[in-house]
Structure 1
Amino acid sequence: MRGIMIQGTSSDAGKSFISTALCRLLLQKGYRPVPFKPQNVSNNSYVTADGKEIGRAQGLQAEAAGLEASPFMNPLLLKPAGNGSSEIVLFGERLEVMSGMAYRKSYYEQAVNAIKTGLKEAKKLGDTLVIEGAGSPVEMNLKKREIVNMKTAELADVPVVLVADIDRGGLFASVVGTLALLDEAERQRIKGIIVNRFHGDPAYFEEGKKWLEEYTGLPVLAVLPFLPGHALEGEDSLSIRDVRRDGAGLDLAVIRLPYVSNGSDIEPFAFEEDVNVRWVQTADAFGKPDAVIVPGTKSTFADLQFLKKTGLADKLGVYGKNGGTVIGLCGGFQLMGNTLADPEGSDTGIAGSVKQGLGLIPGETVFRKNKTIIRTEGSAAGIPLAGYEIHFGETAVDGPPFLTDGHHRDGYRSENGRICGTYLHHLFYNDLFRADWLNRIRRAKGLAERPPAAINRAGTYDAIAAHVEQHLNWPLFYAILEGRQ
């Protein structure tokens, strides 16, 4: 089966972006692409239709490829849980929490077998694999038991394209150094280079392109200009960034929890032209926001300790009780309650832990071993909503729910709507809800209301595919894909 693997000289080089664009571009050209990532390390999750959990990037790539996401597209998902440990998710289902060292020692063979199974099943879904690597293929301290880059390329027997991010500097050294550290057999799999996030006219890079091609003997398949505002969700916490605008009317503070999960929930605000987004880590930086979001977390108890230690817990308490607007998402919802109890050690690893929460919501959360992974639909204040839930705890609330669907009641909404909490991820991707929430804040501040900035996911996939196609040497890429180079 034909395929291509996108590897990077570093994390956040643009592998997910390019892989997603290629899924859409190949679909447009008559292929039936299938995304695949052997192992993802991320707390940004995607819930499949059958209630399984995979890396968010592979879920979006499936959408770009016109497919329903499958756990076989991402056999292994590692969700960092604190203290050097991660939750291991195999084919969409949680196995256990263990340290990185223990995982490398005991899971190598199982991981390789999982990747083989994933590849076998993924091939049944289409005719062209688009495989995304992870990090760098030459992390020398990990290379003996490496599974996520060249090992997967070998198992799938596909050519590799190397992506380097020019925006971070050191492009030539990162490309040449990566190639130098590969084994000869691995080096032979590299068939081309993509330079990503170029600022300015790519014509100015012609001399650099010529040097790279002459020195490495590899073609530069594309020099991709930086594409701001492309609306594609980030894969992990490396994509979390402030959004600052001169003259923006609204100041939105998002608490930057150490174990933040699904930070992509905040990204829709980047398309609201009058909203500044500040990720806040200290009490001094809290300022005087117009609204605060407490995002999800992979370690609720640890992040509660962080909030109390930094003084952010006190800031949030005073702000909320003095009429501020605060909304908590998933773990953020749990943090805003009165108490957190972990009788089985599901969150802390220590059975019997009980802590006082922020006290902004009259709710008590109890953590259990069973994990809730579902897609959810309902309405909040009469506005239809759709999203997904991924959580261990269950929260009992004494007050009106945030969301109802006739059978399912979720979260909490104060009578004036200023204090809310919900387990629903992807909440702010619901354009009508986001507009209503922001307009309430605008009215309170004496600002004019605005219509929602519509987020068109299909349009996003088309736009990034067009961007890559415009700058890609398609005939040469086609030859590599078809094994004719």
Structure 2
Amino acid sequence: MKGIMIQGTASDVGKSLIVTAMCRILADEGVRVTPFKSQNMSNNSYVTIDGKEIGRAQGIQAEAARVEPSVWMNPILLKPRSDQYAEIVYLGKALETLSGRGYRDHFYEQGLAVIQQSLHHLAEEYDVVVIEGAGSPVEINLKDRELVNMKVAELADVPVVLVADIDRGGVFASIVGTLDLLEPNERQRVVGIIINKFRGDITLFEDGVQWLEEKTGVPVLGVLPYVENHMIDGEDSLSIRTQFSNRNKGILDIAVIHLPFISNYSDLEPFLYEEEVTLRWVHNKGEFGQPDAIIIPGTKSTINDLNHLKEKQLDILVQNYIAKGGFTVGICGGYQILGEEMIDEGGSDTGISNQKMKGLGIIPASTTFYQEKETNRVFAKYHKATGLPSNQPIEGYEIHLGKTIFSKEVCPFLTLANGSEDGYFGNDGQIIGTYLHHLFHNDEWRNQWLNMIRKKKGLPYEQIRSISEYKDKRFDLIAAEMKSHLKWDLIKQIIDQWGSK
């Protein structure tokens, strides 16, 4: 197998972005390239064309590589449901929920087998595999049964490049310390170092490059600049904080209700590129303010997160806000929270059977959670009863356990391609609930909704911004920027020579 593995000195050092850029660079050079990450831990997921669930980052990396995402690119996805437990998504389908200890004790051999199987599939179909690690390869307490860093490099027999984030500080200690803690056979795989997120004049780091190469004996393959607004979806809580910290200061104030077990926060990312929109998180009632609209996002544990809202008294603020005519959208778990009641018959949402909780009572519906998860790519149009253009296509995906039943006749939001209906459309669009993730990635709908808010504020309508086209151009720009700061010919030589051994 020809390939290369990008590992990091810590989480959020930029591994996903670098893998994405490498995939686009190689694709532009005519190479059949695929991303791979053996094990992801994230509630930010991507649904493949055949209705399977993988990590969001690998879906985006496949788009950058101009190939169709598949489960072989991320065979194991861990979706946290609490501080102790996570759902195992195995080859795109939910398998079981285990504690961290249970996962290490009972899943390791099965994990190794599916990683080997996945690498075999990818090696047969692609010329080069660009592999992403996770966290640090030298977490000593986890190293003996890890499934995502040096063990994967060994299984794939690929060289490793170590990435460090200079923006957070301590870059020299993090690199030297990581290399020092590796086993001798692991250390031999490290063929290069990349310094990421450098701000300012990169030539000022030339002495640092020289010191690192002399100290470690490993070449520095590039010093990459800090890239703002790169639109490459993150995977963890650190990514949420960094990605949404550079928000606009626009005249449309959209408040997102923060949920401890938020999932698929990539639903919100298009608003970061609407110049008139301020997107902000609301963690407690003191941060609620007077928004022009609120969004309640998806969650991996709806009942637990609703209980959190009630403890913070945010439920009362949301109810009062909606009663006064405020625009509100609930997506997936947020949609369920807006209903009248939630019933967890088998414990699939909370882990405790027959749990019940009253919702916010905004939408006349109750949700029952079942064991079987719905994961589907969705193609839809506005329901004719909404009064919106009924021929307007809407695309997205579903990932949810619950089934929502209305207690009286309502106006659905969408008509799906299979003829079924989805969601709730109330008060001419003031209140919307839907299971459709990536709703706001549809440029026409996002513009339609923002113009509803503009009309209420007495502002002029704005034209549609094509975020999808902008994002693909960003792949090209990021790839060009990264390539200009990498020793790219040397990286290709490393891939070719190692893969020819």
- Provide TM-score, normalisation by structure 1: 0.97
Runs (4+) of structure 1 moved beyond 3 Å? 241-247
Give the match's secondary structure for 2:116: helix
Is this contact kept in 2: 1:260–1:298, CA < 8 A?
A: yes
Letter in structure 2 aligned against 1:334: Q
Task: Name whichever of 142-151 and 236-245 sits farther off.
Answer: 236-245
Residue by residue over 1:139-165, the C-alpha shift from the partner in whole angstroms, topping out at 9 and shown as x without a partner, is 111011112100000000000011111
Is this contact kept in 2: 1:253–1:289, CA < 8 A?
A: yes
Is this contact kept in 2: 1:47–1:374, CA < 8 A?
A: yes
Is this contact kept in 2: 1:8–1:164, CA < 8 A?
A: yes
Q: Which residue of 1 aligns with 2:473?
A: 459
Q: Does 1:100 align with 2:100?
A: yes
> Deviation of residue 448 (structure 1)?
2.3
Q: Which residue of 1 aligns with 2:378?
A: 376
Alignment of 1:202-351 (within 5 A): 202-241=202-241, 242-243=244-245, 248-351=250-353
Task: Name whichever of 229-238 and 349-358 sits farther off.
Answer: 229-238
Is this contact kept in 2: 1:324–1:418, CA < 8 A?
A: yes
Is this contact kept in 2: 1:15–1:133, CA < 8 A?
A: yes
Is this contact kept in 2: 1:236–1:263, CA < 8 A?
A: no
Give the match's secondary structure for 1:284: helix
> Which whole-Å CA distance do the structure 2 matches of 1:144 and 1:245 have between them?
41
Residue by residue over 1:307-339, the C-alpha shift from the partner in whole angstroms, topping out at 9 and shown as x without a partner, is 000111111111111111110111111111111
> Deviation of residue 83 (structure 1)?
4.2
Alignment of 1:48-67 (within 5 A): 48-67=48-67
Letter in structure 2 aligned against 1:212: L
> Which whole-Å CA distance do the structure 2 matches of 1:351 and 1:41 have between them?
25
Between Structure 1 and Structure 2, how many residues are aligned? 485
Task: Name whichever of 3-12 and 206-215 sits farther off.
Answer: 206-215
Q: Does 1:47 align with 2:77?
A: no
Q: Does 1:422 align with 2:424?
A: no
Residue by residue over 1:208-258, the C-alpha shift from the partner in whole angstroms, topping out at 9 and shown as x without a partner, is 111111111111111111111222222233221445667521111111100
Give the match's secondary structure for 2:200: coil
> Which whole-Å CA distance do the structure 1 matches of 2:246 and 2:256 have between them?
13
> Which whole-Å CA distance do the structure 2 matches of 1:62 and 1:20 have between them?
8
Q: Which residue of 2 aligns with 1:393?
A: 402
Gapped runs of 5+ residues in structure 1?
none
> Which whole-Å CA distance do the structure 2 matches of 1:244 and 1:170 have between them?
23
Is this contact kept in 2: 1:57–1:235, CA < 8 A?
A: yes
Seen in structure 2, the aligned counterparts of structure 1 residues 17 and 201 have a Cα distance that, compared at 3 Å, is same
> Which whole-Å CA distance do the structure 1 matches of 2:123 and 2:222 have between them?
27
Is this contact kept in 2: 1:376–1:388, CA < 8 A?
A: yes
Q: Which residue of 2 aligns with 1:24?
A: 24
> Which whole-Å CA distance do the structure 2 matches of 1:191 and 1:45 have between them?
31
Letter in structure 2 aligned against 1:426: H
Give the match's secondary structure for 2:427: coil
Letter in structure 1 aligned against 2:487: N
Give the match's secondary structure for 2:285: coil
Q: Which residue of 1 aligns with 2:134?
A: 134
Give the match's secondary structure for 1:82: coil
Is this contact kept in 1: 2:159–2:498, CA < 8 A?
A: no
Residue by residue over 1:434-480, the C-alpha shift from the partner in whole angstroms, topping out at 9 and shown as x without a partner, is 11111111121122222232212322221221121111111211121
The one of 345, 358, 361 equivalent to 2:363 is 361
Q: Which residue of 1 aligns with 2:494?
A: 480
Q: Does 1:444 align with 2:453?
A: no
Alignment of 1:133-152 (within 5 A): 133-152=133-152
Task: Name whichever of 67-76 and 375-384 sits farther off.
Answer: 375-384
Is this contact kept in 2: 1:243–1:277, CA < 8 A?
A: no
Give the match's secondary structure for 2:463: coil
Is this contact kept in 2: 1:58–1:74, CA < 8 A?
A: yes
> Which whole-Å CA distance do the structure 1 matches of 2:246 and 2:218 have between them?
39
> Which whole-Å CA distance do the structure 1 matches of 2:168 and 2:447 have between them?
35
> Which whole-Å CA distance do the structure 1 matches of 2:271 and 2:334 have between them?
18
Is this contact kept in 2: 1:342–1:352, CA < 8 A?
A: yes
Residue by residue over 1:386-410, the C-alpha shift from the partner in whole angstroms, topping out at 9 and shown as x without a partner, is 0000000011234111111360211
Give the match's secondary structure for 1:120: helix
> Which whole-Å CA distance do the structure 2 matches of 1:475 and 1:83 have between them?
44
> Deviation of residue 60 (structure 1)?
1.2
Alignment of 1:154-233 (within 5 A): 154-233=154-233
Letter in structure 1 aligned against 2:263: S
Q: Which residue of 1 aligns with 2:385?
A: none
Give the match's secondary structure for 2:144: helix
Task: Name whichever of 278-287 and 445-454 sits farther off.
Answer: 445-454
Letter in structure 2 aligned against 1:401: P
> Which whole-Å CA distance do the structure 2 matches of 1:337 and 1:367 have between them?
13
Give the match's secondary structure for 2:436: coil
Give the match's secondary structure for 1:424: coil
Is this contact kept in 1: 2:247–2:272, CA < 8 A?
A: no
Residue by residue over 1:110-165, the C-alpha shift from the partner in whole angstroms, topping out at 9 and shown as x without a partner, is 11111111111111221101100011101111011112100000000000011111
> Which whole-Å CA distance do the structure 1 matches of 2:216 and 2:461 have between them?
55
Is this contact kept in 2: 1:243–1:276, CA < 8 A?
A: no
> Which whole-Å CA distance do the structure 1 matches of 2:34 and 2:230 have between them?
22
Give the match's secondary structure for 1:240: helix
> Deviation of residue 173 (structure 1)?
1.1
Give the match's secondary structure for 1:317: helix
Q: Does 1:470 align with 2:484?
A: yes
Is this contact kept in 1: 2:158–2:498, CA < 8 A?
A: no
Percent identity of paired positions between Structure 1 and Structure 2: 54
Is this contact kept in 2: 1:194–1:221, CA < 8 A?
A: yes
Task: Name whichever of 277-286 and 444-453 sits farther off.
Answer: 444-453
> Which whole-Å CA distance do the structure 1 matches of 2:235 and 2:102 have between them?
25
